[in-house]
Structures are given as C-alpha cells and as structure tokens.
Structure 1
Amino acid sequence: MSIYLEKASATLAEMFPTLPWTVRLSYQGRAASFGSGPERAEIACRTEDPLRDLARARLSSFLDRYVEGECELNGDIYSIVGLRRHVRKDAEWKVGLFNRVRYMGTMLFPSSVRRKLIAVSSHYDLPNEFIEAYLDKRTKAYSCAMWKDANAIGNLDDEALEDAQHHKFHMAASELEVQESDKFLDIGCGYGYQVNLVEKEFGCRNAMGITLSQNQVDNGFSKSMRRTHYLDIPPDGSYDKIYTCGMVSHLDKSELYRYYRHIYGLLKRGGRFWMHGIIPQANPAGLNNYNTLSGTFSQRYVFPDHYQFPVHQHIKAMETIGFKIRKVYFRYGHYAKTLRHWYKQYVETLPQTRHMITPTIERAWHLYLTFGSILDGPEAVIKQILAEKP
C-alpha cells in the first residue's frame, strides 16, 4: 500500500472542503476518498507518482502525469473538473513560481508572427477530420454558439448545435449592419462560415477572411479566405466592417493594444467592429492564463501563447485608442452548453478518430472540452462588444 494514498486524500479534502460529492483515489487495489455525498468519480493511479504529487498539492505535475497515462479519470468527468468551483481559496489555484516564470516572456513581449503561426498551427492544423468530428457540420464553427435557452446547459436536445452556431453568425452580421457595398474582414475566420454568410445572405461583394490555419483555408466555406496574420493586412482605413470571433484568446498579454490599434487603422471612419471572445471575470486573486492550474495546462497542451483579458481591459484599450463603444453583451451559459455538445460528439467519435492523434492529445482534450463548462453559467465567460470608429 502506498503511504501517499491517505496523504493525498487528506490534502485534497483540505483543498476542496465544500465538495458535495465524493471522489475516490485508488492504487494497487487500495482506495481512499475525499468529499462528501455520493461517489461520482475515481482517480485510478497506475504508479505511485500521481499520488505523491496530490499529497504535496502539486496539481500541475499531477496533470502532466495524467496526460502521460500514469493515471485514469473514471466516472463523471464533470465531477473532476468541477473541483475548481470548490477550491478553498482562489489563490490555491495558482501554480508554483517555476511554472509561472516559464511564461514570463510571452507575458511581457508580443510573439513574433512566426511564433504565432507555429502556436496556432499546433492546434488548428491537427488532422482536419479529428477537429471536424466534434464540430457541427453546417458551420464547422470552432467558437461559442448562441443558444435560445443557455440556462439549460445540460439539455442537449432542445436545440441543434448547428442552428445555435448559425444564429451567432447571423446576429453579429445584423449588429454590424453589413451592406452589399461593404468591404468586410473576418479576423480569425475559422472555416469561413461568416464570410460565406455575408456573401450569400447579405450580398456583400467584397468580403475576406483570414486565418493562420492552412487546414481551414483548404477546407473552408469560401474562396475569399487567406492564410495570413492580421498585421500583414495594411491599416489603410479601407474596411467598413470587421468581425472577429474567438481570435482575441490567441493574443499575448502584451499584444492587446497593438491588436486594437491595428483594427482601428483598418477601419474607415464610421466603420463598425464586432468582437466576440472568451473573457473571464476580473478576480481579486489575480488569476490568469499564466499563473493558474487550468491556464498553464492549456498553454502547454491545448492553446500555446493564449491569454484571456477581463472585459474592462478590452474596453479601456478600445476607448484609449479612439473607438466608441456602442454595445457590450454578457452571455451567461452559452459557452458551457457549446462545450457540452462538443464533448459529447468528441466522446462518440473518438473510436473513429483516435488513430489520428496522440494519447497525450486524447487525454488533454477530455479536460479542455469540459473544464470551461463548469465555469460558464455562474460567470459570463463570453462577452461581445460592438464598437465604431468615429
């Protein structure tokens, strides 16, 4: 019997004192639990090392061992990621100094275009069939949908994912008041559904979408797509409408002002800009993507060089540069419900797609596609901003 089994259970019970369900730890036929109420999940360890990490509250190292296959997360995955809502103090969600220092460079200095191309490609240029397997077939949108009933997070039968995705795109184009004569740009266009929509449904004759993923260009909905960095588009003040959905999460912390300044330069006077992004709540503990367990996990395994800014930082940057803010929307529950759909489809199609990816990616995606869904709802993870260049 490992000496770390009971120690790990005690450490986790102290770290998550209000957990209203039980999680079992097991190793070599022995088990210990933490929490109270019905058992919902199990952390089954193949080696002693994951238990040692848990006993010492080294959760970042534990997650590394999970993706390396040294333990399994069995039962209800949402009861594992749901531990986040019951941590004793937000400050305990921070990682150690070493894990924070490793991201100091991207926190202080904007990434080069080449580094950004590599970072984005590492995710979006995974095998196309793998990514498309958990997206809807109509839009292939890899961003949050807009639901009729976002409060019903667990109800996956009340509305089709493809309809909620289409609604998101159409709503944004309507807010922008896209016209046939507009010069339209979608920054971070994904597979180009928004470009295709404004061309076909709004009659826009001069639309373009840009992405850093060759996969998306090759398999996109529109011929008006290019693989290029936004900084390579000259800020000549020629665009009437600019749309971006999700792209802001791929900015470095030091890049925000450069990004909005460039968009401001791209727009004509009177031009409109729509921003849809994953934008967390501000918090007194100073938690961010560079110092938290979940943020650094995503940096390492899912989205390198990404950062999520509280909404006041977006508004301050926009207004400082000269934008006039017209509307700000706080969207509760929409991201959670979108992730629930994606994860359901991920699990259902995994037998057909597993050979396309590494075991590390398979394991990391179990956490990536579930973690955000336990934060959104109580908090508004998605915000949308409509701004204008006066």
Structure 2
Amino acid sequence: MADAALRLTTLAEELLGASLPVRIRAWDGSESGPPGAPVLVVRHRRALRRLLWRPGELGLARAWVAGEIDVDGDLYELLDLLAGIVWERGEQGKKTVHPVRDPRLRAAVRGLLRIGGVLPPPPPPAEEVRRRAGPLHTKRRDKKAISHHYDVGNDFYALVLGPSMVYSCAYWEDGGSLEDAQRDKLDLICRKLALKEGDRLLDVGCGWGSMAVHAAREYGAQVTGVTLSREQAAYARKRIAEEGLTDRIEIRVQDYRDVRDGPYDAVSSIGMAEHVGIVHYHEYADQLFFLLRPGGRLLNHQIARRPERDESAYHVDEFIDRYVFPDGELAPVGRTITTLEEAGFEVRDVESIREHYALTLRRWVEKLEADRRRATRLSTPGRARVWRLYMAASAVSFERNRIGVNQILAVKTPESGASGLPLRARTWN
C-alpha cells in the first residue's frame, strides 16, 4: 500500500464533511494534504484498529499514548486547525439519535477495515485507568483517583511546574516569568481572603504546600493544608521545615470531608473542586460553610465548562477520564455559584482568568518539551505523551473559550448582614 495517506485523508474528509486542514504522513511514507500544514503522522496501522474498536476520542488517545500517531510541526497549530471541525462534528453528533445509521460513519468503518485490517483490539496502553465500577466519589475511590494523577513522582512535577510547584492557573502580567505569575496568583488569593497575622486558613487540596507557605510566610497565617496524595504531603512537609514554618503550618493526608477542627477564618480551594464530583457539590459547599466562622471568607478557584441546554447528562471527557484525572468533572460557573449560595454563602466577587490558564499551560508544555528525555525517565514514555497532549489541548480549549477558570469570593455573612467587606470592592487590585 503506497497511498495510505491519500486514502486516510479522503476517508477523514468524507467523515467530517470538510477539507482536512492538516497533512497526513502514513506508515508507508506517503503524504497527503495541504503543503506547509502541520503533519499528523500515523506510524502504524494499529492506530486504525484502535479507532475501529473504540471510535472517537478514546481510540485516538490510545494511539497517541502508544506512540502510534504523532505530530511533525506545531502541535498547537494542528490542534487548533482540527478543533473547530472536530468540536462542530461533536455537537452535531449529540443530536443524532442513532449515530450508527449515519451513512458517513458506515462508510468510515468500511474504509478503516480495508486499510487497517480486521484484527482483535490492541490492548490499551499501561497508563490507562480501567473503567471503574460502583458509585462515584466515595472516599476510597477519590483517594485512588488522586493517587493516579499526583503520585507519579515529585521530580516529574518539578520538571513541568518549575520551582513554585503550583499546579493551577497563574496570574500574568506582560513579560513576567512563570514563577512571578504563580507568586502573584497566590498573593492575589491571600489579598482576596484579607489574611492577616494569626488568621486560621484551611487550604483544601493543598498540593505541594505553595499556598500554605506563602500565606504563612507573607501574611502570618496559621495554615492547615489537606491533601489525599502522600507524595505531595511528604514534599510539602520537607519544604515547610526548610522554610522554618513548622510552627505555622500543618499538612495532613486527609479527605476534606473529614476535617472537623473549625472554625477557620478563611478557606482556599485552588483547583480542587474539579475532583469533587457534581453529585457531591452540595456536600462540598456545606462542609466549607460549616468550617468557616461567621464573617469568614472562601476563595474557590475552579475550572468551568460551558453550559449546555441539557444539564441532566453526565459530562465526561474520555481522554481526561482515562489518562489524566479519573472521575474529574467540570461544571458551569453558574452552577457552582448557585451551589455556594444554596449552602448559605454570599457570593461577592467572580473573576474570570481564562486567558491566564492558556498562558500557564503553554509554559508548562515548554518545560516538558525542553527536557522530554528526562520527563520520560522520571515517568514513562506514555505518561510524558499524555501530559504533552493534555496540556497543549487544554491550552487550545481555554483559548477558544471551550472551558474557563474563575475565582469566586464568597462570605459566610453573619445574621447581622455585616459582610466585613469595604463599600468599594476589589480593594485587592
């Protein structure tokens, strides 16, 4: 077969109903597509069998993680070129009651069979999380999910995140470094929470201790950080000892649902609520409300997806669910605000920092690509490929407004109605 690329291009264009804006290079050395465009490399016809047995995102993800497909050229450009077509096709597919009856899909299956052959499904790459049974977001299941993502080696995370070890959206100024932007994000949160000497701060999902260290060192807060990751906790404790802050910070391996030593003056939740699960959002909001003193503040920093007309369905990204954040769920920002209000909070400020996350992700990808061999040694070849794709694709999703990220400031306003906030808000700017 000396024309595999042309046959694949034709097949893709028939399925998508549009011209393919990228080139394809196939395992036989053939190429097809617009000159000068980024190249999607199909290294092995096994990738086609993955698509046959699991059409769509999961089949493509398995082929990517296994190294059977790759990109020659600008990964962001290729993802951006494909994004509009693929997402548009996805929206149309949601309206199709019986997608198997779609003649284009039937033709695609026949074409893949002719090119890829009929063989048993290839086993998934080792990095994939198998489909779990039982209820979502039990404490045991959440702990396993967190361990899959975070307990992959602190050295690997240090390579990607840099010295700040902050794994959430930074807050950028033109020309600033990643370290500056992460410091500015932590400081912005401290100012929004109006932290002062001696305040008790609970940092849920405390990660490697960056927020705890900043709040204790710069604002004199007494911080309790909780995480489900033992590797994160060990790193944070060592870091805190080196900073001489053991008298101000306690790090626990503990589920936030088990915290009982309130009241706290403030709670920070930075990139943690995405792991909670929609079925537990009310429990999450109720627990944080319970743990705050009257007048206490919550800063909820959370990724949000765009809302849909039918919000009754369970929304899951198969690639993210199987390879990145098992059981992770995103909710629209309006749903999060409503849940916090139903728990008793008064929501006082919402700031969208969507573009900031795209910038952050691009810097993380730069760090990974600058030392890809070491990243592979510190994890696995498949894990390094997972991270490269998920971070680059996420950056494109933020840039195209498919997802966003918001900081929500909420107050446990006392019965007197005195919120403790100044008449002119945003004094932290």
Is the TM value for this pair above 0.5? yes
**Correspondence 1:118-137 to 2 at 5 A:** 118-137=144-163
CA distance in 1, matches of 2:208, 2:158: 10
1:325 correspondence with 2:347:
yes
User: Which moved further from structure 2: 267-276 or 252-261?
Assistant: 252-261
Conserved? CA contact 1:5–1:51, under 8 Å: no
CA distance 1:93–1:305, shift in 2 (3 Å): farther
User: Of 111, 134, 159, which residue of structure 1 is paired with 2:137?
Assistant: 111
User: How big is the shift at 1:237?
Assistant: 4.6
Alignment match, 2:197: 180
Alignment match, 1:152: none
Alignment match, 1:146: 171
User: How big is the shift at 1:289?
Assistant: 7.7
1:303 correspondence with 2:303:
no
Superposed CA offset, 1:237-261 (max 9, x none): 5111000100011122211111111
User: Of 230, 238, 241, which residue of structure 1 is paired with 2:266?
Assistant: 241
| 3-state SS, counterpart of residue 308 of structure 1 | coil
1:360 correspondence with 2:379:
no
Alignment match, 1:74: 72
Give the TM-score normalised by structure 1.
0.85
CA distance in 2, matches of 1:159, 1:262: 37
Report the aligned-residue RMSD. 2.9
CA distance in 2, matches of 1:30, 1:117: 47
1:388 correspondence with 2:388:
no
CA distance 1:2–1:355, shift in 2 (3 Å): same
User: How big is the shift at 1:19?
Assistant: 7.0
User: How big is the shift at 1:20?
Assistant: 8.5
1:228 correspondence with 2:245:
no
| 3-state SS, counterpart of residue 407 of structure 2 | strand
User: How big is the shift at 1:42?
Assistant: 2.2
Structure 1: give runs of 5+ residues left out of the alignment.
150-157
Alignment match, 1:153: none
Structure 2: give runs of 5+ residues left out of the alignment.
101-129, 241-245, 414-429
User: How big is the shift at 1:7?
Assistant: 4.8
Aligned residues: 368
CA distance in 2, matches of 1:148, 1:66: 34
User: Which moved further from structure 2: 54-63 or 273-282?
Assistant: 54-63
What letter is aligned with 1:233?
V
Give the TM-score normalised by structure 2.
0.78
CA distance 1:72–1:249, shift in 2 (3 Å): same
Q: Which has the higher contact order (CA 8 A, sep 6+)?
A: 1
User: How big is the shift at 1:191?
Assistant: 1.1
**Correspondence 1:5-154 to 2 at 5 A:** 5-14=5-14, 21-33=21-33, 38-50=36-48, 53=51, 58-82=56-80, 83-87=82-86, 88-91=88-91, 109-137=135-163, 139-149=164-174
CA distance in 2, matches of 1:288, 1:358: 34
| 3-state SS, counterpart of residue 141 of structure 1 | coil
1:344 correspondence with 2:366:
yes
| Structure exhibiting the larger radius of gyration computed from Cα positions | 2
Conserved? CA contact 1:339–1:372, under 8 Å: yes
User: How big is the shift at 1:280?
Assistant: 1.8
CA distance 1:9–1:22, shift in 2 (3 Å): same
| 3-state SS, counterpart of residue 301 of structure 1 | helix
What letter is aligned with 2:280?
E
Conserved? CA contact 1:140–1:191, under 8 Å: yes
